[in-house]
Amino acid sequence: MSAMNAALVLVSIPLFCFASATGIEIRRDRSSLKHLARILPLAIAAIASILFLSFVFDSANFPSNRFCTAMSLTGLLVAACGFLCRYKSRFAAGLIVVGGLLLAYFWLISRLRA
């Protein structure tokens, strides 16, 4: 496995965590889609993960330090929501916390590039 493939797998972990948590939560309780407090952090986190992946591969247009800081705070907010919101599955909540912390870490590390 080349270094680029390893990096791609590493930065894809938060997106995988959020997608898995969403699947587990919806499978556990279909009415979770009606609770905005449960679904909104997952949607925001998925968007932030996809943005990070798109910026990693388009390194010429990498965002500013302010944007990276704001997105890392978004990752921390998602992690806090995973800890504080009442999800039906503890495993899904744990995936949200881990994914949010990794996302915040990757955005903070990317500030060094900008």
Domain membership of residue 92 as a residue range: 3-111
Mean pLDDT over 13-19 rounds to: 91
Cα 113 from chain centroid?
20
Q: Which amino acid is at 110?
A: S
Maximum Cα interatomic distance, the chain, rounded to a whole number of Å:
43
> Residue 77 has what pLDDT?
92
Domain total of the chain: 1
> Residue 8 has what pLDDT?
77
**Model's pTM, two decimal places?**
0.85
> Residue 91 has what pLDDT?
93
Task: Name the range with the highest mean pLDDT among 8-22, 31-45, 50-64.
Answer: 8-22
